[in-house]
A and B are shown apart, each in its own frame.
Chain A
Amino acid sequence: MKFIKKNLNLFSLKRWIRNKPVDFIVTMFLMLLILWVATLIVSWFILEANWNVVSDNLDLYAIGSYPADQKWRPMIWMLSLSTLTIITLTWRRKGILQKSLPWIWILMLPSGLVLMAGGPGLIPVASHKWGGLALTLILALSSAFIAMPLGILLALGRRSKLAIIKYSCGIYIDSMRSVPLIAILFFGQLLIPLFLPVEFDINRVVRAILAFAVFAAAYVAEDVRGGLQAIPKTQVEAAEALGLNPKQIAILIMLPQALRTAIPALTNQAIGLLQNTSLMAILGLVELLGISRSLLANPNFMGRYLEVYVWIAAVYWLICTSMALLARRLEQELDPNILTIKSNEISN
């Protein structure tokens, strides 16, 4: 109470009204507006919203129509992904765990694919049964996994001295960037099967992943090229003077520096890619947005648009924020000044 009295001093309030009346009126009006909107939202959340469209279907959002008796497989994968995220973000102690984290991260994708699709000792589950958040993550991670090396090669290619490599990489990048993503997805889903013989069937998830990958690679290439351009020419000269060959210069000197510079831009791409996987809902894959749309078509949950979209917005928000935080963590990890402190700790 003392605090409020001190800050809501009536004397100064009077002086405020007298000295700046317009200021006062606008402030009051805006405060009322905010209050009104907040009340509406809170009362909707508590009184009107019926969250059983979310709570009854948590499994569907997570894994879609994945066979129920096998549902532990995608669940374990996603659980370990989130555990790994939390460990990476919070665990600061140096040790064996810290050193093995990058490898565990790299293993997450293949292990996820094996768990989802089946492999040694696991019953195969066809990809048309995949769905929900698990499918969203598989789509985003797999295409990023392909797009990264492809994009790096394109970026290096665009700087090549050989005209044919330089121009073909340039043409690829520029044409990919001038086509909307949805067109490439349509092409992958609807047109490619028309060109291929009937018995030659690539499954839809793979086609989607490839479409995302070839699209994202062009953008990755430009981000990496930006990083490469930020490296002073003298770095190359120093490396040349030491007798390193062009390949060694690219891998040992240029790329490590370029990729570090490109992390913020690449994070943007990764987040964009994850959100763009929702376009597959239009093309009939039941990833997170797709499953939500089919739930809304269910007569039991008719018209519950707000609840469903608020819910999946929250899920997307959580994932994208984690990605941003992970990227910041990676940036810190690669910052030379922090690296120095670490190596000091070792040497002392």
Chain B
Amino acid sequence: MKSVIKAKGVVKTFQGGKKALDEVSLEVGKGEVTVIMGPSGSGKSTLIRTFNGLESIDEGIIEVLGVELDSYHDERKVMRIRRRVGMVFQQFNLFPHLSIIDNITIAPIKVQKRNKEEVASKAFQLLAQMGIAEHAMKFPSQLSGGEQQRVAIARALAMEPELILFDEPTSALDPERVKEVLDAMKQLANNGMTMVVVTHEIGFAREVADKVVFMDEGKIVEISAPEDFFSHAQNERSRRFLNQMM
């Protein structure tokens, strides 16, 4: 299987000396869904943010889609990666001054220099796929959290990425809105999208993930298939975490 992400010995130290990532190595294959779990402060968000260069690293090498990032943090390489990698955030981060359709089309038009009409029709198609086509002309503040997050997914998809990073996509949602976003993500996974998902949604991990990565204190503690991880986790810390979650 072709690998999309290959991280080797990644170290990231925050100002003040706290090690956010401590010798992390991880490989993500094409078409794979990888779920990263762990207690807060375990470095899972930091890790996922190094994959598209939102965080620089201090040691090690990350190869994303054949582009290598190291501690030098070459801006041009970062840009090359970002053009092919989508990201969905916890707080949606839609642009409040742009309509939904503009939110989705701005990057394909400005970054990929694609044709406006073609991008717009693609955007409408994506919104329909997300079940929110009727909101295309509205502004983000008019949509519910779940709808905004689906717009954010559509925005990431509009760039036709080869990999999408999800950073706790359902943590800021009302419980009754979580399902609609998870359903959209499942649909993506079924279509063969490569995804790295930081989440606490055990049901999602069980159903969709190809592997579960458990992190604690900046280290990867365990990498298992979901059925193994949730029934008999190998590691003591994983078990303790799962006990608290379930």
A and B co-occur in one complex: yes
List chain A positions with a Cβ less than 8 A from chain B.
234-235, 237-245, 248, 252-253, 256-257, 260, 334, 336-337, 339-340, 343-344, 346-347
Give the chain B neighbours of A240 by CB distance below 8 A. Answer: 54, 82
Give the chain B neighbours of A237 by CB distance below 8 A. Answer: 54, 89, 93
Count residues of B near A (Cβ-Cβ below 8 Å): 29
Q: Are B159 and A243 in contact (CB under 8 A)?
A: yes
**Across the two chains, which residue of chain B brings its CB closest to A260?**
B97
Q: Are B139 and A253 in contact (CB under 8 A)?
A: no
Q: Give the shortest distance, in Å, between A330 (CB) and chain B (any CB).
A: 14
Q: Give the shortest distance, in Å, between B241 (CB) and chain A (any CB).
A: 27
Task: Indicate the member of B85, B91, B93, B96 with the most A CB atoms within 10 Å.
Answer: B93
Q: Give the shortest distance, in Å, between B147 (CB) and chain A (any CB).
A: 13
Give the chain B neighbours of A234 by CB distance below 8 A. Answer: 89, 91, 93
Near A by CB (< 8 A), chain B positions 76-90 give: 79, 82-83, 85-87, 89
Q: Are A235 and B95 in contact (CB under 8 A)?
A: yes
Given contacts A237-B93, A238-B89, contact A244 B99 (CB under 8 A): no
Instruction: Report how far A243 CA is from B79 CA in the complex, Å.
Output: 6
Q: Give the shortest distance, in Å, between B5 (CB) and chain A (any CB).
A: 15
List chain B positions with a Cβ less than 8 A from chain A.
52, 54, 79, 82-83, 85-87, 89, 91, 93-97, 99, 106-107, 110-111, 136-142, 155, 159
20 chain-A/chain-B pairs, Cβ below 8 angstroms: A235-B93, A235-B95, A237-B93, A238-B95, A241-B52, A242-B107, A242-B155, A243-B79, A243-B82, A243-B111, A244-B106, A245-B79, A252-B106, A257-B95, A336-B140, A337-B141, A339-B99, A343-B99, A344-B137, A347-B136
Q: Quick one: which of A239, A248, A253, A343 contacts B138, CB cutoff 8 A?
A: A343
Given contacts A240-B54, A241-B52, A243-B111, contact A336 B139 (CB under 8 A): yes
Give the chain A neighbours of B54 by CB distance below 8 A. Answer: 237, 240-241
**Across the two chains, which residue of chain A brings its CB closest to B87?**
A241
Shortest beta-carbon contacts, A-B, top 3: A238-B93, A242-B107, A241-B87
Instruction: Report how far A242 CA is from B95 CA in the complex, Å.
Output: 12
Give the chain B neighbours of A245 by CB distance below 8 A. Answer: 79
Give the chain A neighbours of B107 by CB distance below 8 A. Answer: 242-244
Instruction: Report how far A124 CA is from B106 CA in the complex, Å.
Output: 47
Instruction: Report how far A97 CA is from B79 CA in the complex, Å.
Output: 42
Instruction: Report how far A245 CA is from B138 CA in the complex, Å.
Output: 26
Task: Indicate the member of A241, A244, A253 with the most B CB atoms within 10 Å.
Answer: A241
Q: Quick one: which of A243, A248, A256 contacts B97, CB cutoff 8 A?
A: A256
Q: Are B93 and A257 in contact (CB under 8 A)?
A: no
Give the chain A neighbours of B141 by CB distance below 8 A. Answer: 336-337, 340
Give the chain B neighbours of A339 by CB distance below 8 A. Answer: 99, 139
Q: Give the shortest distance, in Å, between A346 (CB) and chain B (any CB).
A: 7
Give the chain B neighbours of A252 by CB distance below 8 A. Answer: 106, 110
Given contacts A243-B82, A243-B83, A245-B79, contact A347 B137 (CB under 8 A): yes
Q: Quick one: which of A239, A243, A257 contacts B96, CB cutoff 8 A?
A: A257
Q: Give the shortest distance, in Å, between B163 (CB) and chain A (any CB).
A: 12
Give the chain A neighbours of B139 by CB distance below 8 A. Answer: 336-337, 339-340, 343
Instruction: Report how far A296 CA is from B212 CA in the complex, Å.
Output: 86
Given contacts A235-B95, A238-B93, contact A346 B83 (CB under 8 A): no
Q: Give the shortest distance, in Å, between B121 (CB) and chain A (any CB).
A: 16
**Across the two chains, which residue of chain A brings its CB closest to B108?**
A242
Instruction: Report how far A228 CA is from B159 CA in the complex, Å.
Output: 27
14 additional A-B pairs beyond A238-B94, A347-B137, beta carbons within 8 Å, are A234-B91, A234-B93, A239-B95, A242-B106, A242-B159, A243-B111, A243-B159, A244-B106, A244-B111, A248-B110, A252-B110, A253-B95, A257-B95, A340-B141
